[in-house]
Amino acid sequence: MFFLYNLVVQSAAFLLKIVALFSPKIKLFVEGRKTVFNTLSEKISPSDKTIWFHAASLGEYEQGLPVMEKMKTQFPNHKIVVTFFSPSGYEVRKNNTIADATVYLPLDSISNAKQFLKLVHPEMTFFIKYEFWPNYLNELKKQNIKIYLISGIFRKKQPFFKWYGGFYRNALKSFHYFFVQNESSKKLLQNIGFNNVKVSGDTRFDRVVSILERDNSLDFIEEFKNETPTIVIGSSWPKDEELLIKYINQANDAVKFIIAPHNIKPEQIQQLKNSITQKTVLFSEKEGQNLADYQVFIIDTIGILTKIYSYADIAYVGGGFGNPGVHNILEPATFGIPIVIGPNYSHFAEATALVNMEGCITISNQNELHQAFDLLVQNEDERHEKGHICSTFVQMNKGATNTILNHILA
């Protein structure tokens, strides 16, 4: 099976180079991996002590960040190495301040795994949530390097739990310990013979709770809001915006809107702006403007949405009309804000929980969107009640990071 797997990896490496000629994202994927070993040689010396964290993309990085921060404090003389699989993670966080080296993870070939581990030589390795690369795991096991899965989530449909999943189950044997988000994941692992597992919860709660301790002020948002009830629309996609624009265009000036689209390509931002009939300003055009005069503020930049949520009275989180579904709802939830989302949220435990607790409203059509927003805009008590449910939910679920660290350091 390893032979077939490695043949697939080699074939994929060849095909990706061809696809890269036509796809900017795949080009980043391919080109970014060409300098990985040189970068590691420059930043990590043979005498360095290191800890390696691997994140598939941006969400997993944010999920692992509380553990990275704690490990950096606990092991100040160790260097932190962070790897990403996806360009959407690496390109956004390649200049992070937590890691001493941030690189793409080379494709999972035997030679890449050996070369990577020779250069990084980690004392401990953390895989965040998922991604199980057999050659890396096999080589780590051979070198007796402890591997931890943090904030792991397992589902019955995964190959590990199928009759044909022996190859994948063998990969899991490399892990020293599994820290999973829920009891069902623990039971699935126990059913296939893994008892080195603990329900620690989701480290994302620790991540968003820590946001409250930081300075979230943005002068230009405060100027725009001007003490007016404000709906913040985060990570919206065109399917979300089709419904949202109709509501925005008929809204009166008693409410303002901040839109931070998922995609900020100039042509799509301009198309979004042109579709809005209310007075609208872009982040890139805000200088010299009296922002209080505008009703809609489009954020055509990245990296400030979390702070913007702190000014929201209501949040709409996008992605719920697509696959795999809604984006991160925990960031607005931690600020005690009622949340509205689209119908595709069942893969996300926190969204399902908040919908069931009625802190989050789910909508599937134009009429339901209007009803949800009208209720929250017009009824301050309803806003506060749902917002309180959200903030309480986040506070009750924090602590995963300490559970993980206490076990590792025991």
* pLDDT tens figures, 227-281: 999 999 999 999 999 999 999 999 999 999 999 999 999 999 999 999 999 999 9
- Convert the pLDDT of each residue in 173-196 to its tens digit: 999 999 999 999 999 999 999 999
Same domain, 173 and 252: no
Out of 201, 231, 260, a domain closes at: 201
Cα separation, 127 vs 56, whole angstroms: 9
Distances in Å between the alpha carbon of 316 and those of 257, 338, 375? Answer: 10, 9, 14
C-alpha closest to that of 322 among 243, 260, 236: 236
Taking the CA atoms of the chain, what radius of gyration do you get in angstroms? 23
Exposed, middle or buried, 41 (CB in 10 Å: 0-12/13-18/19+)?
exposed
Per-residue burial over 371-388, b if 16 or more Cβ lie within 10 Å, else e, is ebbebbbeeeeebeebbe
Catalytic annotation, pick one of 31, 42, 60, 213: 60
Q: Which domain holds residue 124?
A: 1-201
287 is catalytic: no
Percentage of the chain beyond pLDDT 90 is: 94
Same domain, 185 and 230: no
Which CATH number characterizes residue 365's domain?
A: 3.40.50.2000
Cα separation, 301 vs 91, whole angstroms: 14
Confidence category of residue 160, pLDDT binned at 50, 70, 90? very high
Same domain, 195 and 225: no
Contact 178, 149 (CB under 8 A): yes
Same domain, 362 and 267: yes
Cα separation, 373 vs 361, whole angstroms: 10
Same domain, 195 and 278: no
Same domain, 184 and 232: no
Domain count along the chain: 2
Q: What is the DSSP letter of 152?
A: E
Same domain, 245 and 191: no
What is the residue whose two structure tokens read 């599937």?
Answer: 364
Which pLDDT score is estimated for 74? Answer: 96
